Amino acid sequence: MINLVIDIGNTHTKVAVFDHQVLRKVDHYESLNPQHIHAYLTGQGITHSILSCVSLDHITELEELLAKQTTYIRFATHLATTISNQYQSPETLGLDRLAGVVGAQALHPHKNCLVVDAGTCITYDAVTKKGLYHGGSISPGIHMRLKALHTFTDKLPLIDLDLEFTALAGTDTRTSILSGVTQGAMLEMQGFIKNYQLRYPDLQVVLCGGDAFFFDTRLKNTIFAHLLSVEPHLVLIGLNEIIHQQND
């Protein structure tokens, strides 16, 4: 069973090939086209495919190609059959958030999991060991916070994230912004983890997203280090799990 997993997000697209549950390769695209898909379907023995997309515009040709040559699934909330989804408006729940929860459940069965996806936004989503999902939280990501300070003020400059910056307090405008954004995001994240840990003492925190390693290096120096695992491809793992659930 060779699976092609496609996650079309807000800013980029990830395409992965799985041999059953083993991740073989991941590629990144700014814009995915049918020629890319055709290349995967030629000579790699792809049997099944799944596509998750934040917008359904411009994917018809991709879907036609996948459906013609594989057993194809378009991911939707009702396909996450191992999750008891208590979200009051499931049709508005981000598919990446739900796939991340499915991925965490697959990696850490029979554990309470908190998925922290540090990307364009930072999202916090928990699933219990019994598969209950009650909802989560959405917060601005690091780069969004930096842009917001510049956009909504007259004098604050737009600065780039400095991966080496760890100071508690800044000594000029640039470092003060870095301090406020990075320390603020870190304290927020620690607060969420602490509150979920109080609710679920055996909590497993799974960190994913484009800024996952930025937070990982800093969380390793906190009391929460023992709770943490990092899985940059968690959403892809969750989508691959959906294929297996639908074909069992």
Separation of CA 196 from chain center = 19
| Residue 96 is among the residues annotated as catalytic for this protein | yes
DSSP lists the bridge partners of residue 27 as: 15
Q: Provide the H-helix boundaries in 114-162.
A: 142-151
CB 245 within 8 A of CB 79: yes
Written as one letter, the residue type at 184 is: G
Catalytic residue among 96, 117, 125, 211: 96
Instruction: Give the N- to C-terminal CA distance of the chain in Å, as an integer.
Output: 12
Cα atoms in the 13 Å half-sphere on the side-chain side of 31: 3
Per-residue burial over 115-138, b if 16 or more Cβ lie within 10 Å, else e, is bbbbbbbbbbbbbeeebebeebee
The catalytic residue positions are 96
